[in-house]
Amino acid sequence: MSAILNTYNRKKIAFTKGKGAFLYGTNGKKYLDFVQGIAVNCLGHANNYLTKSISKQAKKLWHVSNAFIIPEQEKLARRLKQKTFADYVFFQNSGAEATEAAIKFARRYFYSKGQPRKNRILCINNSFHGRTLATIFAGNSKKATEGFGPKVDGFDHFNFGDHKGLEKSITNRTAAIMVETIMGEGGIKVIPDYCLVGLRKLCNKKKILLILDEVQCGIGRSGKFFAFEHAKIKPDIVPIAKGIGGGFPIGAVLLNKKVASGMKPGLHGSTFGGNPLAMSAGNAVMDVMFKKKFLSSVTKNGNYFLKELNKIKLKYPKIIKEVRGKGLLIGICIYKDQSKFIKRLLENNLLTVRASENVVRLLPPLNVTRQEINLGLKIIEKVCKKFK
């Protein structure tokens, strides 16, 4: 009997080690890992450069608290600023913390402008922003909120794709719209570029803030550093996490000057956030991600993967309903319950993870090779062939 609280339906496997796109099970099997800790290990398992960077830092200094200047943190913030829309960065340890801080920053901005009642956040129904009390009620799925009331107030909702519903839901109390640029847990639902452009215009017109949750789709996953860059827009606040530490827990909020003006010393904090060890991981990820051709190879491999999956879909139109995604954030929507499909893939040594709407999620490392993608395709096709 496990002493761990029973909140996960864990697969009955454990691993001894990982290397790149592969994991080695205690059962002696070698698995192709297209989960990568749910889009976390963007450089694969045990990446040499990342390992070296963390080891080097571990011998020098791990943690000092934010009562002091942390040069490694200054460096990562400066680089995020240089490469993105952001003017300022706040570091934390997880995605939920980052989205919750994004909500705080949006509210505080209007408070500082003398509009304290402008504090409601408009989100998409059944989206995912984390598992803290506030973020579950931001996501508003029955599964995540049931039994956890009283409801945390301050969130309003509209349905994905419902433009009229969105406009109608904006009131003079709305402070911000917060959406995932690509819905991950919700089933790899991509907000089209023209909608992102429209969303930005709408927020400008209504004088409210745009928060884009890039915890899953950011950090190169879509083929650009941020998924919203495809639409050439600039949000006001962006929470990130997952990929930025390459496997080390890091969360962060990126924000522009305007929103940052609402914050001052003492208003927010984190004990662990941005410690030297975590920052050495973040800086190493940035070193690799901004090497020439890294992001363009994500796009190329993503396009290839999608194209080949669509060929499999054409061969098995009764099994696969749709293939969707961007870059290496890919979902195969199947007609039946996806858990059986995922089990078959696992039996054939391919690890994948579910998402809502019968979606099988594929999250290879961003430095995956063509050969590894081909191996994955071969297994997926083999499972389709026998799937009933």
Ligand X SMILES: *Cc1c(COP(=O)(O)O)cnc(C)c1O
Q: Are 253 and 101 in contact (CB under 8 A)?
A: yes
Q: Identify whether the C-beta of residue 257 lies closer than 8 Å to the C-beta of residue 87.
A: yes
DSSP secondary structure string for all residues of 153-201: PSEEEE-TT-HHHHHHH--TTEEEEEEESEETTTTSEEPPHHHHHHHHH
| Residues 96-125: x where in contact with ligand X by CB under 6 A, - otherwise, as a string | x--x--------------------------
> Residue 22 is inside which H or E element, if any?
strand 22-25
User: What span, in angstroms and rounded, lies between the C-alpha atoms of 276 and 386?
Assistant: 50
Of 199, 215, 254, 350, the one binding ligand X by CB under 6 A: 215
Q: How far is the CB of 217 from ligand X (least distance, A)?
A: 7
Q: Are strands 182-183 and 30-33 parallel, antiparallel or unpaired?
A: unpaired
DSSP string, 235-249: -SEEEE-GGGGBTB-
Is 235 near ligand X (CB under 6 A)? no
Number of residues that bind ligand X (CB under 6 A): 15
Least distance between ligand X and beta carbon 306 (Å) = 20
- CB-based closest residue to ligand X: 95
213 touches ligand X by CB under 6 A: yes
Residue found under tokens 């609402």: 262
Q: Which of 22, 31, 85, 128 binds ligand X (CB under 6 A)?
A: 128
Q: Does 238 bind ligand X (CB under 6 A)?
A: no
**Closest of 39, 37, 20, 83 to residue 217, by C-alpha:** 39
Q: Does 181 bind ligand X (CB under 6 A)?
A: no
Instruction: At 336, list the tokens.
Output: 């039946």
Q: Give me the residue label for tokens 């901004």.
A: 290
DSSP string, 346-372: HHTTEE-EEETTTEEEE---TT--HHH
End-to-end Cα separation, the chain, in angstroms:
34
Of the pair 185, 372, the CB lying nearest ligand X is at: 185
Nearer to ligand X, 44 or 184 (CB): 184
CB of 378 to ligand X, least distance (A): 28
Q: 82 to 101, contacts with ligand X by CB under 6 A? A: 94-96, 99
Under rule CB under 6 A, residue 33 binds ligand X: no
Which is nearer to ligand X, 211 or 319 (by Cβ)?
Answer: 211
Binding mask 152-171 for ligand X (x = CB under 6 A): --------------------
Q: Which residue, 25 or 154, has its beta carbon nearer to ligand X?
A: 154
Stretch that binds ligand X, among 68-76, 79-87, 170-178, 210-218 (CB under 6 A): 210-218
For ligand X, which residue of 57, 216, 301, 338 counts as binding (CB under 6 A)?
216
Residue ranges that bind ligand X, judged by CB under 6 A = 94-96, 99, 128-130, 180, 184-185, 213, 215-216, 241-242
